[in-house]
Chains A and B, each alone.
Chain A
Amino acid sequence: MSVDDTGRSERPTQEITVTVNGESVTAEVEPRLKLSDFLRSHLELRTVRVGCEQGVCGACTVEFDGTVAKSCMLYAVQADGREVTTVEALSEDGNLHPIQEAFHEEHALQCGFCTSGFLMATRDLLAENPDPEREEIEGALADNICRCTGYQNIYDAVETAADKLEGE
């Protein structure tokens, strides 16, 4: 797949090659383009949500070379040669990933705008720590803001997801 951004002769661009959700993508991008905007508008990965562009809310959280990162705090050019994973990679053929199932079952989302970020943060936590204590969950999710749920059901969802993944 390649994405071409011609027609902006006045603007400098740079070619990058990024592995996104397992697929190699080559694109010409402006050096100032944020990774969040690259994923959203160039690759149409809509689960990447932009809530603040200040690195606070965590709605744009993705996996970046094996660790969670806020994609609004990175430029697309910084992803050159790196691997990025978004929520699009979680569900296969429309079937929910156990973490997604758990969020549904525990009513851990309302408006849903923060949800992708929480899913990615949860995935990262459970990969490191498959059976976290409540305090560890709170700590791992402290970089993500949810304005609707008051977090209680998100904690429950993380625990439910841990149980589901353990059983797999």
Chain B
Amino acid sequence: MSEADTRAETDAEVEGEPEPEGQSFTGQGLNRVEDHRILTGRAEYVHDISPEGCLEMGLVRTTRAHAEIRDIDTSAAEAHPECALVLTGEDIAAEYNPMPCGLTEMSEWALAKEKVHFAGEPVALVVAEDRYVVEDIVDLVDVRYDGLDPVVDAVAAREDETVIHEDVGTNVPDSEELRFGDPEGAFAAADTVVEGEYSWGRISGVPLETGGAVAEYDPDADTFHIDANMQLHTLVDNTVFETLGYDAEDVRIEVPPDVGGSFGTKIAMHRYMCLTAMASQQLDGTPVKYVEDRVENLQGGDMHSSDREYTVRVAVDDDGTVRGFDFEFLDDFGAFPRYPINQVLKPLAVLTNGYDVEHVRYSYDLVLTNKTSQTAYRGFGVDPHLYALEMALDEAARELGVDPYDFRQINFIPPGSMPYTLPSKNIYDSGDYPAALERIRETVEEAEVCEGGLLDPDVVESRREAGKYRGVAYTLHIEPGVSGADWTNRQRSDRDDLSERDREDVAELPEHLRAEVLEDGTVRAYLATDSSGQGHQTLVSQLLADELGVLPSDIEVDYLDSVDAPTEYGSAASRMAVMLSGAAAGLGDRMVEQFERLAADHWGVGTAAVTYREGTVTRQDGPETLSLADLAALDTDREESLTRASYDYQHPATELEDFDEALARKLPVYPTAAFAANAPIVEVDVATGEVELLKFYSLRDCGTQLNPVIVEGQSHGGLAQGIGAALIEEFGYDDRGQPQSVTLFDYLLPSTTNVPEMVLEHSETPSPFTVTGAKGTGEGGMIDGPAAIASSINRALEPFDVVVDEIPATANRLRRQLRDQGE
């Protein structure tokens, strides 16, 4: 901007005219800055990283679900002319530590020691020049076992007939019962109690890029550098440095700017990172690389997710008023309750979904079996909770003879009650649920319940005559966003002490953002989090451009590794839209203040006499101006840099007294409640049980949209994952604990043939709790899709009195239900 322009604007302000509205980039659907490098092949995923002299690692994985290791003979492998290294569990136990586990009393070795706990668990590692010869050598490692009874059925596992971890002494290492309000009273007083049992199958994120790590040990400095596609590298880096037995600053973890999807699953990457690091150290610093193949990823990639059996009871009056809920479930965590284990607790953040219900009992058993360990997946345990809750409501509506739409409307939280405190003490920030549900129904009725529509009554009737039952249900689901950090160690805390705990004891983690002005006047910002396709670089360039009054293209966004970044939470739990908004606002204010101070010093005037605006500091009593490039030049000689700044944005719940009780008691704190009113139209072939999704209508609200294009992309992708979860995806096991889904021919991902047209509408109910009014929305679709689809199936199969009792609702399962109902 020229000096003349600047003066003209200053004059305009003096004359009392309104300040010209600066163009706001936040809120616009700008295309992503990440795309160009990906489209042209310049993006460097971890698979592409191969330092000079890098060797490759492979893993010997057990095929046994449960067995004692009698002997490992590595002599043939070591005799192979190209073998560089073989290590077993005993070898690493002599020098390193077990990996931190979800529950403090348990330990897990990166290579199995003494016994194996699930088919696919690594028992030895091999290093050689390339993966082809590595696999040759892997085949030469001879492991002898003494078989043990596999523990496969999670319900039976609770009997402890065979205990998987003798040192723990039980297959149920954690359980808790929480009561909110007076559930016993509510159930005793209600006219009717409806009960149902619902099962949620073992599914997960299955990103297209598998896990990978490249580690290099520096023998001179006695430090490690690890490139890995890890999620939350500034939060869970302890899983790596503690295992290696080093301090955090000695293990530098760098995540490439491009990660091929994670969805929570790559939080548990530590095994591979530790093993490559150990191998590199044993080889005096030769870099070592490992990339999972797809079979390894599916059977033993430490990334399965929630696998639950629910019993839900609903206390309801004849007029349709729900008085109370009772949720009881077990979650099959596989062989180790790994970091993070809070998936059983997060549902407390949306305990009653959109319903105004005061009295709730919630109890869970965390069960261990001889299966691959669980980790996080988009939704983090909320998806099965909403599914089970909504199925019980559909069952109750049927028993009462109330239309399920009316039943939901009767029980919704009235918009006037917002912000609304749940019995479990989390708070919904804003939303008009009755209006959203009405709106989605109107949309579908206008478009589809008419001549030529999918739900044209004549068409529905004639399809039924052909055995094809169509239906749609109107349902609404809450997506909790922006998790706090402090509650996440509830399961490792003494729970009896929590009622006595003070608000002052709460330790939240901020979101860190820093930036500097470069020589040419552009700004380089640094994210402390990692990304896996969400568009964080684009988002920060928009937010910071607005804060500094420059163009997004003037802002470059880079990443910090685990040593340069402070310990912070990072990208998970739908946090980044809100946390980066706050961080950008705080950082922008700080930078503007520093720019003005720098200019004032230079001109020898007070800071009140200078003004920063749109990339330029102006002296009010003179014609001089300083551009950002000028400021950068001035700053080079200063002791205290004024063109660099960092900001730590505190979690918004810490500023809101209403969250004090949840914070002090370590109950899940999620201060934003995005929501979706859904109406998937399904058609069920009652002869085969096969479900076809015809179209997916959804009205979605995540508060103020920072970038509507990105929001829409998250919705589409989340819904596609929700569709997969609802109908086709599952990690099956046979009764000996052998995994049945070890290729993408068995674990079915939604393709163009399964994902129907999505008709999305977005409304914006700003959050009163966040800087921009944005709500977290990284997990929507996966959270609400399965429950919504199941409710539509229930509607279609109403004539057969079927309520979906198992997710995924595969053809054989629905056929079983139809057969049981005498169809």
Check A103–B132 contact: CB distance below 8 A: no
Check A113–B209 contact: CB distance below 8 A: yes
Partner of A113 from B34, B36, B205, B260 at Cβ < 8 Å: B260
Check A107–B709 contact: CB distance below 8 A: yes
In this complex, which of A46, A53, A111 has the most chain B Cβ atoms within 10 angstroms of its Cβ? A111
Please tell me if A127 contacts chain B, counting CB pairs below 8 Å: no
The closest CB in chain A to the CB of B38 belongs to: A112
Point out the residues of chain B lying under 8 angstroms from A148, CB to CB.
261, 533, 713, 717
Stretch at the interface among A61-69, A77-85, A149-157, A159-167: A149-157
Using known A-B contacts A45-B41, A113-B209, determine if residue A149 contacts B713 with beta carbons closer than 8 Å.
yes
Partner of B752 from A47, A51, A56, A151 at Cβ < 8 Å: A151
Point out the residues of chain B lying under 8 angstroms from A110, CB to CB.
261, 533-535, 713, 717
Check A151–B532 contact: CB distance below 8 A: no
User: In the docked arrangement, what's the CA distance between A86 and B39, Å?
Assistant: 12
User: In the docked arrangement, what's the CA distance between A56 and B746, Å?
Assistant: 11
Please tell me if B94 contacts chain A, counting CB pairs below 8 Å: no
User: In the docked arrangement, what's the CA distance between A107 and B533, Å?
Assistant: 11
Check A32–B209 contact: CB distance below 8 A: no
Check B41–A151 contact: CB distance below 8 A: no
Contacting A at CB under 8 A, from B325-354, are none
Using known A-B contacts A57-B208, A112-B258, A150-B755, determine if residue A96 contacts B719 with beta carbons closer than 8 Å.
no
Please tell me if B565 contacts chain A, counting CB pairs below 8 Å: no
User: In the docked arrangement, what's the CA distance between A30 and B41, Å?
Assistant: 26
Check A91–B744 contact: CB distance below 8 A: no
Point out the residues of chain B lying under 8 angstroms from A116, CB to CB.
41
Check A138–B48 contact: CB distance below 8 A: no
Using known A-B contacts A51-B208, A112-B533, determine if residue A46 contacts B41 with beta carbons closer than 8 Å.
yes
Partner of B755 from A32, A103, A151 at Cβ < 8 Å: A151
Contacting A at CB under 8 A, from B709-764, are 709-710, 712-713, 715-721, 743-745, 749-753, 755, 757-758
Point out the residues of chain B lying under 8 angstroms from A113, CB to CB.
45, 207-209, 260-261
Please tell me if B47 contacts chain A, counting CB pairs below 8 Å: yes
Check B717–A150 contact: CB distance below 8 A: yes
Chain A proximity of B795: nearest CB distance (Å): 23
Point out the residues of chain B lying under 8 angstroms from A111, CB to CB.
207-209, 258-261, 532-533
Q: 1/0 per residue B24-42: CB within 8 Å of A?
A: 0000000110111011111
Check B744–A54 contact: CB distance below 8 A: yes
In this complex, which of B534, B717, B752 has the most chain A Cβ atoms within 10 angstroms of its Cβ? B752
Please tell me if B9 contacts chain A, counting CB pairs below 8 Å: no
Check A103–B35 contact: CB distance below 8 A: yes
Contacting A at CB under 8 A, from B176-206, are 205-206
Please tell me if A115 contacts chain B, counting CB pairs below 8 Å: yes
Please tell me if B22 contacts chain A, counting CB pairs below 8 Å: no
User: In the docked arrangement, what's the CA distance between A115 and B210, Å?
Assistant: 15
In this complex, which of B35, B710, B721 has the most chain A Cβ atoms within 10 angstroms of its Cβ? B35
Please name 9 pairs of A and B residues whose Cβ atoms are closer than 8 Å in the assembled complex, sorted by A: A51-B209, A86-B41, A107-B709, A107-B710, A109-B533, A148-B533, A150-B715, A150-B717, A151-B752
Residues of B within 8 A of A (CB): 31-32, 34-36, 38-45, 47-48, 50, 81-82, 129-130, 132-133, 205-210, 258-261, 263, 293-294, 532-535, 709-710, 712-713, 715-721, 743-745, 749-753, 755, 757-758, 781
What 18 additional pairs, Cβ within 8 angstroms, besides A115-B39, A150-B750? Answer: A32-B132, A40-B47, A46-B42, A49-B47, A86-B41, A96-B40, A110-B535, A112-B258, A112-B260, A113-B207, A113-B261, A138-B752, A147-B263, A148-B533, A148-B713, A149-B717, A150-B715, A151-B716
Interchain residue pairs A-B with the least CB separation, the first 4: A113-B260, A111-B533, A150-B716, A150-B720
